[in-house]
Structure 1
Amino acid sequence: MASSLISIILLGVSGLVLFLYAVSRLALALKHVAGDRVKKTLDRFTRTVPMAILTGTVVTTLLDSSSVVIILAIALVSAGALPFRNSLGVVLGANIGTTISSQLFAFDLGQYAVVAMLPGLLLLTLSKKRQGRTIGRALFCFGLLFFSLYIIGEAVSPLKEYKGVQAWLLKLENPVRGAGAGALITLLIQSSSATLGMVIKLAAKGLLTLPAGIAVMLGAELGTCSDTLLATIGRGRAALKTGLFHLGFNLISIALGLLLITPFTAFVLRLASHADVARQIAHAHVLFNVAGVLLFAPLVPLCQRLLDAWLPEEEEPAAPLAVSAA
């Protein structure tokens, strides 16, 4: 039994390592393909809060990483290329865009991963142009993303036979415990997408209930703030305020989510009673993030004023007066 459990853990960790590699390389490849266009898009289409939210949503969907988009926004704010207020809408939009991943993860596409991996590998190895190789890498990593989730799903399937594991997973139905586990896992692996992917696969194998999945999902939203806060170090007060807004948005949303988790879970069940638990968790992710954005969007001007009052911009030191020669 011990050797069997070790095999399950090793296979599951192998799938997780592949997933994290695929996520990081996919985001990097897509950033190389569309990096300059993304910067121009963020500068051009974020003049109003609704447009900034829409832009953040679309760009995050294309780059498949809310962290990359928020960190990019922080870098642009730090460089003075993106006004601080505009970045707040981008942060909100990124939180909607990241839910597209959980919807895709709920599909069982792992066995079809070769459809993307094979053309990607051919482009990566045979293309003589850098652009072609980058597109090939993006395709290969996109397929690898779903293949790694398939490995994780196959690895955890035998855990149904272990009563101790089932008992521990049931304890995650406690909202605080589940959220704490989600935050810790996301903090350790630095990827909320990986946490959601594992949650969805555990649910698909009948190992995780909807209340537990929602609780872990709430915690993952908090854990993802760590890398964006790290990105603000040494970048000035405007960038720091963008990172703090992201943290504050998630803290308040998660607190409300934990307080209302029972009626929220009931609402998800009523809305998606026909779907399996994995799909219900994916729907819950979308509903939660969209509700949070709708709540915060009208408050963006107030948040801006509060953050500006708390962390006013540093004044440039006055230039010394020139002393003319007598």
Structure 2
Amino acid sequence: MFKMLLGLCMLLLGIFVMRYGLRKALWHQLHRALEKMTKTPLRGLILGTIAAALFQSSTTVCLITIGLVGADYMSFRQALGVILGANIGTCSTVQLINFSLPADYILPLILIAMLLSIFRKFRYVGLALTGLFSMFAGLDLLVKGISGLSNLNEIAGYLIMAKSQPLYGIWGGIFVTMIFQSSSAATALLMLLADMGLVDITTAAYVIYGNNIGSCASSVVFSAAAPIAARQVALSHIVLNVVGVLVFFPMTPLLVIAARFFTGDFSGQVATIHTLFNLLSSLLVLPLSRQFTNLIFFLMPNKTKY
């Protein structure tokens, strides 16, 4: 149990330290880019994808976008493309977690990254690398900790129940993501459980749906006291993921088949479903961005024109 908790803490700490280093290194550049390069939804999607991949966080990009809209630096229509792209870019974290790093290399790499952060010029890059390698160390400890748990049968029993009752899986994904404040961390844990045979790929898909809905929590909290345009951005993030779940829920078997086509690795299939869900959800909305915008304005009216 101790190894599992320590591994979980290292995983979460690694993700947040990595994001902090990347945010400090690229914060001002992202602000300028978001203000100047979002004239069309497609440009916004491309920029949002790149930004979320660089920051290893869709939440960070969404919060910055909400702040810019609230400060009148960006309209809601401009922000929509960024939100669509951020949902795609966040998949890079899960794909990165799926990458295997030999355990013997992890500690030396953490020490090198920490030494790099001592130098002022490379401080934030060093922090980002320290977080990255700490994330791998946490995953290694999590694997060992979960393997040693005595109540694995109870965990497996709940996950089997989630297969017959998909809403259990979705609610579980929402709950875990809100606790971790990171859909990437929640999906990483799911990948480990899948790799150990404790969860089947169909159940994993249901949990991933919940992970994506749960990832909207930070946007809602951040925008609560913001101007209505900023709240519309947060609402669009929620609607995007909820509609995505409603569309793909009956198509889950097809997502599973597609994931198996791309890779035979079980945890890799979980990462692939996560990527396909976010990628397809955003690409399906992109050509309907005008109609999607009108839907958000209908759900949350605003007299100001954009």
TM-score normalised by the chain length of structure 2: 0.92
Structure 1 pair 41–267 and aligned structure 2 pair: CA distance change class (3 A):
same
Superposition pairs of residues 222-233 of structure 1, within 5 angstroms: 222-233=213-224
Match of 1:44 in 2: 36
1:172 is matched by which residue type in structure 2? A
Q: Give the distance between the partners of 1:179 and 1:110, measured in 2 at CA.
A: 33
Contact 1:176 1:258 in 2 (8 A): no
Match of 1:198 in 2: 189
Contact 1:85 1:304 in 2 (8 A): yes
Shift of 1:160: 8.4
Shift of 1:102: 1.2
Render the CA deviation track for 1:3-47: whole Å, top value 9, x for unaligned. Answer: xxxxx2x32122112222222222122111111100111122211
Contact 1:199 1:213 in 2 (8 A): yes
Q: Give the distance between the partners of 2:285 and 2:102, measured in 1 at CA.
A: 36
Match of 2:250 in 1: 259
Match of 2:277 in 1: 288
TM-score normalised by the chain length of structure 1: 0.87
What is the CA RMSD across the aligned residues, in angstroms? 1.9
Structure 1 pair 162–226 and aligned structure 2 pair: CA distance change class (3 A):
closer
- Unpaired stretches in structure 1, ≥5 consecutive residues: 1-7, 316-326
SS at match of 1:172: helix
Match of 1:171 in 2: 161
SS at match of 2:148: helix
Match of 2:146 in 1: 156
Structure 1 pair 313–152 and aligned structure 2 pair: CA distance change class (3 A):
farther
Higher relative contact order (CA 8 A, sep 6+): 2
Q: Give the distance between the partners of 2:80 and 2:108, measured in 1 at CA.
A: 38
Structure 1 pair 247–117 and aligned structure 2 pair: CA distance change class (3 A):
same
Match of 2:110 in 1: 117
Structure 1 pair 110–221 and aligned structure 2 pair: CA distance change class (3 A):
farther
Render the CA deviation track for 1:126-168: whole Å, top value 9, x for unaligned. Answer: x2x2x42222111111111111111111211234884333222
Q: Give the distance between the partners of 1:183 and 1:61, measured in 2 at CA.
A: 22
Q: Give the distance between the partners of 1:98 and 1:29, measured in 2 at CA.
A: 16
Superposition pairs of residues 90-105 of structure 1, within 5 angstroms: 90-105=82-97
1:285 is matched by which residue type in structure 2? H
- Unpaired stretches in structure 2, ≥5 consecutive residues: none
Structure 1 pair 41–113 and aligned structure 2 pair: CA distance change class (3 A):
farther
Shift of 1:173: 2.0
Superposition pairs of residues 49-68 of structure 1, within 5 angstroms: 49-68=41-60
1:306 aligned onto 2:295:
yes
Percentage of identical aligned residues: 26
Q: Give the distance between the partners of 1:168 and 1:306, measured in 2 at CA.
A: 37
Match of 2:231 in 1: 240
1:75 is matched by which residue type in structure 2? G
Q: Give the distance between the partners of 1:162 and 1:117, measured in 2 at CA.
A: 31
